[in-house]
Structure 1
Amino acid sequence: MRTALVAALAAVGVCGVAGARDEKADPVGTWACEYKIGDQKRTSSLTITKDGDKLAGTMTWPDQKGAKLTDVKMKDGALTFSAVREFMDNKIPIDYTLKVTGDKLTGKGKSDFGGKATEFDIEGTREKKAK
C-alpha cells in the first residue's frame, strides 16, 4: 500500500513539473514600462512581435518613437534585447534582460554612457488588446 501511495505522489509531482514546463512565457505584445534613473521616474513602451521563429520589436520613449530593437531573444523565460536611446544628440546603447511572467515583466536595463555604467530596474505590464 505504501509503495502505491509513493508511486502516486511521484506521478503527481512529475506531472506538475511537466505541466509547469509546458507554460512558455510569451513576450509578444505591447508593454507599458516604468523605471527610475536617479530619482526621476521614466516611462517607455515596448512592442514585441514574432515573425515565424524570430522575435523583433521597438521601444518608444516620450521623446523618441520606434527605436528598433536588436538581438531580441527569449530563452528560459528571459527576454533579452538591445536598443539605442537618442537623447540630446547622444546615442546611448541599452541592454535589457527581462523576465516575463504572464502579463508582467521585470528586470534590468544596463547602459554605458561616457564611461559611466548605469543599471536600473524596470517593470512592465502588457497592454490589453482592444476588442
Structure 2
Amino acid sequence: MPFEYPEDLRYLDTHEYVRLEGEIATIGITDFAVDQLGDIVFLDLPDIGDAVSKEETFGTIESVKAVEDLNSPVTGTVIERNELLIESPEQLAEDPYGEGWLLKVRVNKSGEIDDALTASEYSIQVEG
C-alpha cells in the first residue's frame, strides 16, 4: 500500500506533519509513522493552554512495539487537543490527516514551518 503525503502539509523528519491555516497549526503524525508504529495503544498530549516549542517534545505515542516522542513543528499555545484519540488512540490509523490530528496550536511565528519538508522531500526521505 503506498503511503499518502498531502501536498498542503509540511513535514518533520521525525514524522510529524503541520497544516497551517492563518495562525492555527494542526499537528499530527504521518501515514508512514502510523504504519511503522503498528497498533497504537496510548497517547500523551499536552493540555489546552500549554506552550509548545519548535523541535521540542510535546508528548508521546505508544504502540505495542515502541514509545516515541512527538515533536512540535511550531512554537505556540495549544488551543485544542484531540480528546477522541486520547480515549481511542487506535483510531489514529484510520485517518491520520483528517480526524486523526493530535493538536491545534496558535502559532507565534508562521514562518517557522518554512524549513519543514515538503511532501515530496519527506517521501524521498522515508521511502528512498
Query: Structures share a fold, TM > 0.5?
Result: no
Larger RCO (alpha carbons 8 Å, 6+ apart): 2
The structure with the largest helix share of the pair is 2
What TM-score, normalized to structure 2? 0.30
Find the structure with the greater CA-based Rg: 1
The structure with the largest strand share of the pair is 1
